């Protein structure tokens, strides 16, 4: 079991909840199978998966596990032990009812997108509040109807259906949190996009699509180096007085990598001209001391 530790202590401002928000997802990195023969994915294609838990507060990972591309997303999730009262937000690939049942039994919460193949019975429909968001369609209590799935998760669940205007589709969410508003549940799932942004940053800005070594250990070293780098970059971005975009910050540092300057001042005031250098008078030393 992988217990999550070392998470940020500062609180987010978007959600008025006390629970620690964790975003769970994976990303696939394609590899050449002839070079990375250990990273089996398909018959003629290699790939690795980075299974990641992202702390929403600082948008930094608290758990990263690398597997070959064939491993299903839900398999590494079985090994994760969530902190008590934390809420994990995930896509429908993580609808694994034994795992969800374990998280619930340990006092953790989840907000997961429901698969269309899951059958359920409606127990009670909650009345929608007048201050709800317009995209909230249904808020109700359900139980799993099929005998096999109900044996894996025998408790009741809460189902919140929301309308996705951008993709013109209905998204069904299930959760074991019954006291939060439907607005909070839908906004939590919307916040899952932060982990997609994180994957985009490490792939495009830190170039982990191509690797210097071909062994599994070499790939892991490069990935962990990239994660350390993104931690440093996010710290610089958060502490700088100027409002940097992450891509601009990376490009700026890359251009000035071999320039001697005050990094803090340069990040705070990037468009201020540098001070004029102070020229010290050159005093010619005495080469010869002629006596009288």
Distance CA 225, CA 232 (A): 11
- What sections of 132-244 are H helices per DSSP? 147-152, 182-190, 193-200, 216-239
76 with 94: CB under 8 angstroms?
no
> What global pTM score does this model have?
0.81
In terms of domains, do 14 and 124 share one?
yes
Q: What is the mean pLDDT of residues 157-181?
A: 91
- Under the banding of pLDDT at 50, 70 and 90, the label for residue 284 is low
pLDDT beyond 60 at 292 = no
Q: Which of 91-95, 107-111, 129-133, 210-214 has the lowest mean pLDDT?
A: 129-133
CA distances from 9 to 20, 23, 173 (A): 9, 16, 28
29 in any annotated domain = yes
The structural domain count of the chain equals 2
In terms of domains, do 84 and 192 share one?
yes
286 in any annotated domain = no
Note the pLDDT tens digit of each residue in 200-235: 888 888 877 778 888 888 888 888 888 888 888 888
- At residue 115, the pLDDT reads 92
282 in any annotated domain = no
> Regarding beta strands 136-144 and 120-125, do their DSSP bridges make them parallel or antiparallel, or are they unpaired?
antiparallel
pLDDT beyond 70 at 3 = no
In terms of domains, do 64 and 101 share one?
yes
pLDDT beyond 60 at 7 = no
- Under the banding of pLDDT at 50, 70 and 90, the label for residue 12 is very low
288 in any annotated domain = no
In terms of domains, do 92 and 144 share one?
yes
Average model confidence (pLDDT) across the chain: 85
18 in any annotated domain = yes
79 in any annotated domain = yes
pLDDT beyond 70 at 277 = no
Percent of the chain with pLDDT over 70: 87
In terms of domains, do 233 and 96 share one?
no
- At residue 255, the pLDDT reads 85
Q: Exposed e or buried b for every residue in 6-24, given b needs 16+ CB within 10 A?
A: ebeeeeeeebebebbbbbb
In terms of domains, do 195 and 233 share one?
no
Coil/strand/helix, residue 217:
helix
In terms of domains, do 258 and 161 share one?
no
Q: What is the mean pLDDT of residues 156-181?
A: 91
pLDDT beyond 50 at 187 = yes
Q: What is the mean pLDDT of residues 123-138?
A: 80
Q: Give the residue, 11 or 71, on which the prediction is more confident.
A: 71
Which helix (DSSP H) or strand (DSSP E) does residue 247 occupy? helix 246-255
In terms of domains, do 239 and 184 share one?
no
In terms of domains, do 46 and 141 share one?
yes
Q: What range does the domain containing 264 cover?
A: 206-268
Note the pLDDT tens digit of each residue in 238-260: 888 888 888 898 888 888 888 77
- At residue 11, the pLDDT reads 44
Classify residue 278 as exposed, middle or buried by CB count within 10 Å of its CB (0-12, 13-18, 19+): exposed
Distance CA 220, CA 216 (A): 6
């Amino acid at each position: 079991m992988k217990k999550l530790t070392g998470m940020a202590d500062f609180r987010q401002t978007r959600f008025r909840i006390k629970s620690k928000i964790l975003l769970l997802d994976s990303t696939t990195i394609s590899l050449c199978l002839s070079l990375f023969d250990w990273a089996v994915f398909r018959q003629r294609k290699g790939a690795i998966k980075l299974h990641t838990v992202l702390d929403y507060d600082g948008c930094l990972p608290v758990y990263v596990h690398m597997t070959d591309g064939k491993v299903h997303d839900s398999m590494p999730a079985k090994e994760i032990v969530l902190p008590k009262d934390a809420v994990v937000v995930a896509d429908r690939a993580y609808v694994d009812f034994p795992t969800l049942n374990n998280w619930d039994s340990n006092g953790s919460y989840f907000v997961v997108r429901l698969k269309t193949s899951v059958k359920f019975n409606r127990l009670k429909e909650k009345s929608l509040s007048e201050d709800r968001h317009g995209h909230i369609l249904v808020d109700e209590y359900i139980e799993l109807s099929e005998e096999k799935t109900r044996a894996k998760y025998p408790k009741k669940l809460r189902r919140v259906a929301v309308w996705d205007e951008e993709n013109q589709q209905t998204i069904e969410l299930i959760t074991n949190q019954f006291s939060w508003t439907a607005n909070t549940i839908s906004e939590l799932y919307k916040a899952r996009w932060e982990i997609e942004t994180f994957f985009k940053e490490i792939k495009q800005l830190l170039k982990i699509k191509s690797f210097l070594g071909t062994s599994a250990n070499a790939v892991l070293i490069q990935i962990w180096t990239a994660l350390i780098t993104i931690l440093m970059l996010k710290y610089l971005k958060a502490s700088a007085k100027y409002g940097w975009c992450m891509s601009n910050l990376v490009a700026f540092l890359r251009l000035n990598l071999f320039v001697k300057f005050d990094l803090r001042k340069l990040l705070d005031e990037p468009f201020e001209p540098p001070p004029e250098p102070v020229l010290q008078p050159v005093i010619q030393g005495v080469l010869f001391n002629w006596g009288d």
